[in-house]
Structure 1
């Protein structure tokens, strides 16, 4: 069966994700949807121009919700990053709600029953809102969450300790936003707990992860490559039923919202969530972050 992926919202992140999916041959059919019809059409032609130099082929369809009926994955990249304020993604809440209220009924009417992957910010509250709007199991609606923040933490740790980033493991958790935190109890470097390394400024490293996106935004007024790579990786994990763990925005029944914590991802979305033994301090930060997400979600409702 053809692997069909949809992207709703063809801004910087949406189109970068689209290029990743096409160049890597992840999708047999890619459906691009944007309220700016000419933009979606133009980006589709640009992507088609790249097909001649690729070893794979992708059928690219534009602005056809009906084509999403049997999609394996639909990626939500709608919104307006220009609404962000002082690095706080909660500033995007109003514009994101307007966008979801417009596209959700159309997606629902298409008969879509695959996995929805949210990039739209504020990611955790928006993922929760998608779960509220669509008649799908909550396990099939996830967000990129703190996956990108985790990558930024791993990069900061690797740079500080002069190791390969591939040898840094661990998770950032909570909100993909100001209240996120690094769960240092989960972080291992060269398969040793990071606590074994002397002179580590944990606060600085956590700040580097949290503020990484804001630094990029201040320089170029959007972010794209990192988040698009995460979205592509998660899409591949879904398509291939990889059973791979991501610290993504997924439903936590204790708080009734989606929040960044590790989940095993496969063809049906979340397969299971591993139990982590957080410290009391980390647990308190998680609860605090959940409260912020829940408050934003309630405002969206």
Structure 2
């Protein structure tokens, strides 16, 4: 079946799913959003709430409805948010991985009945493990499936640096790479503000001291748990991350974003999914960019790979 341009299927209508629905709707780039959830009443409630906003002048007349997996047949984008989220005080990622891999297994069995052509964005955590499982078990085209990975982590890092320099965070460039988790790292050789290398920021912006790189990394990693403890869940940041990816796909932006994808020899790594800079466009992950890393940064990327592969082995994947 021919894909319908602008049609998006959202799997999951929980806290993250509902926030993602509204974030995508606000982008005004899709013509149809179909929501799927095991709790059909919850899905319908979210659909109606979002649908009412289309009457306002600033909103496009997007069709929003509850649907089924059959709607994936002609969808151009599928967003997977279903599955339980980590809870405050619960640090057992293996238990969460086992639960959400089972959820992803059931969802992928349905999706692949109808399509292998849609771009599939995985949000469900642990996103690197879930993405690897979905791509490898179901042999989904590798360029068509990727996870949100360290995209939100990167946004958090940029905001922290921008606050210290008192500039718009969109002028901060650089990434968190590797695992969306504890082994993630910042390749500081790539970080700059409006082209000014990180070590020159004190001179350029009148800072009293150099950036505390270890603290910025620690604060970035802790940001999600801090939000979780304060409000009970995280939703806005990840929803905007998904909306950013959707916009890049629909408008064929070919922008460079860090997403979690299954590596096939890039950076001399394979049999793992983790975040590296990728070109995102209408066809999904158009290209993995093999940026030049310092030897110690390459070692950190390899350490992320080893950490994730160890978890995959424990999960029997």
TM-score, reference length from structure 2 = 0.90
Secondary structure of the corresponding residue to residue 30 of structure 2: coil
Residue 63 of structure 2 is matched in structure 1 by 59
Aligned to 2:260: 249
> Contact 1:126/1:297 (CA < 8 Å) preserved in 2?
no
Contact 2:129–2:273 under 8 Å retained in 1: yes
Q: What secondary structure, in the 3-state scheme, does the structure 1 residue paired with 2:83 have? A: coil
- Asked if the contact 2:37/2:43 (under 8 Å) is kept, the reply is yes
- Shift of the 82–252 alpha-carbon distance from structure 1 to 2, 3 Å rule, reads closer
Match in the other structure for 1:105? 109
Contact 2:276 / 2:289 at 8 angstroms: preserved in 1? Answer: no
| 1:188 aligned to which of 189, 192, 209 | 192
Matched with 2:290 is 275
**SS of aligned partner of 2:183:** coil
Is 1:173–1:261's contact at 8 Å kept on the other side of the alignment? Answer: yes
Query: Paired residue for 2:37?
Result: 34
Say yes or no: does 1:148 pair with 2:159.
no
Among 100, 110, 125, the alignment partner of 1:96 is 100
Measured after TM superposition, the shift of residue 239 of structure 1 is 1.4
Deviations 1:26-65 (A, max 9, x none): 2211110111111111111111111111441111231311
- String of CA shifts for 1:144-166, please: whole Å, max 9, x gaps: 11111111110111112222212
User: 1:71 and 1:11 mapped to 2: Cα distance?
Assistant: 21
What residue in structure 2 maps to residue 22 of structure 1? 25
- The CA distance in 1 between the partners of 2:181 and 2:103, in whole Å, is 20
Secondary structure class of the residue paired with 2:270: coil
Q: Which runs of 5+ in 2 are unaligned?
A: 203-209
- Asked whether the 8 Å contact 2:24–2:242 carries over to 1, the reply is no
Higher mean C-alpha deviation, range 47-56 or range 32-41: 47-56
Offset at residue 300 of structure 1 (A): 5.6
Structure 1 moving runs of 4+ over 6 Å: none
Q: Which residue number in structure 2 is paired with residue 49 of structure 1?
A: 52
Superposition pairs for residues 170-189 of structure 1, below 5 Å?
170-189=174-193
Q: Does 1:201 align with 2:212?
A: yes
Cα distance in 1 between the residues matched to 2:29 and 2:143: 22
Distance verdict in 2 for CA 1:3–1:300, change over 3 Å = farther
2:234 corresponds to 1:223:
yes
Against the structure 1 CA distance between its residues 162 and 228, is the aligned structure 2 distance closer, same or farther, given a 3 Å change threshold? same
Aligned position for 1:6: 9
Work out the CA distance in 2 between the residues paired with 1:90 and 1:157. 32
- The runs of 5 or more residues in structure 1 that have no matched partner are none
1:168 to 163, 168, 172: 172
Output the CA distance in 1 between the equivalents of 2:114 and 2:88: 31
In 2, the alpha carbon distance for the partners of 1:244 and 1:190 equals: 17
Distance (whole Å) between structure 2 residues aligned to residue 32 and residue 245 of structure 1: 28
1:290 aligns with 2:297: no
